[in-house]
Amino acid sequence: MILAWVNDICETIQSFVGGMRTTAHYFVENLRDEGGATAVTRQYPEHAAEVIGDRSRGHLVNDADRCIVCHACDKACPVDCFAMDGERDGNNKMRASRFDIDLSKCIYCGLCVRACPTGSLSMTTGFQVDPREAELGRYLFRRSTPQLDMRLDAIEIERLRGLANTPREELAPADRDWLDEHVDPAGRHLIGIFGLGYFTPEQKAAADAEREAKKKAKDAAAAAAKAKAASPGGESAQRQGEPGR
């Protein structure tokens, strides 16, 4: 009993000393400003991280072309970040026509990435979430609550990206008004849009027509095969005339 107690105390002191040794190592390294990539504490944003682990959870992105709108991520998300719609393309395959991720709610738990069956959702190693950054401005927009339900087509998305990446003072008044209608600079929701507006109305009409034509051709081929089988001298008649029938 006493021996176990002494043993516990020794192990506690040992782990405490080990932890303090690591802390002291980084503390001195940082004091000398020679930590480089190994330093744990860095002054951000003056010194951004130089080494980011492969398993870090930075930006959540969706490769919309691979998304089948199965809603698995939606069901896995504990804080209800996703809003999505799907439409069928010419090959009858579901494609995302809208895919919003409300990053203001996201807790970067990664559950959606694990649930995604197609690998279209992933976390990148990027970690700076500032829509004013040119690179991020391509897909991060702040939107107010009514704007969240405003649907945009592909052309509008391109326009949004272009305008969002242009300094506000350089925008023409008409462009600035249009941008303010769709993006709220002081909005509460930081939205990552990736598949939003996958189809323009024209693309959707063409996809619907192509799918309908393929279905009609398939139905016609099936009807012709059935008629041929039922006709005198057809497959079924031939089978009946076979010896032993």
Instruction: Compute the least distance from the CB of residue 228 to ligand SF4, in Å.
Output: 41
Name the residue nearer to ligand SF4 (CB basis): 65 or 149. Answer: 65
Name the residue nearer to ligand SF4 (CB basis): 49 or 111. Answer: 111
Instruction: Compute the least distance from the CB of residue 57 to ligand SF4, in Å.
Output: 7
Phi, psi (deg, nearest 5) at residue 84: -145, 150
Name the residue nearer to ligand SF4 (CB basis): 179 or 196. Answer: 196
Tokens of 46: 């003056």
Instruction: Compute the least distance from the CB of residue 136 to ligand SF4, in Å.
Output: 17
Q: Which residues are near ligand SF4 by CB under 6 A?
A: 60, 62, 67-73, 76-77, 79, 81, 101, 106-112, 115-116, 118, 120-121
Q: Which long-range contacts (CB under 8 A, 24 or more apart) does 81-90 make?
A: 81/105, 81/106, 81/112, 82/112, 83/148, 84/195, 87/198, 87/199, 87/204, 87/207, 88/207, 88/208, 88/211, 89/207, 89/211, 90/206, 90/207, 90/210, 90/211, 90/214
For the chain, the first-to-last Cα distance in angstroms comes to 91
Instruction: Compute the least distance from the CB of residue 139 to ligand SF4, in Å.
Output: 15
Name the residue nearer to ligand SF4 (CB basis): 108 or 178. Answer: 108
Instruction: Compute the least distance from the CB of residue 244 to ligand SF4, in Å.
Output: 53
Q: Which residue has the tokens 């001195």?
A: 28
Name the residue nearer to ligand SF4 (CB basis): 35 or 192. Answer: 192
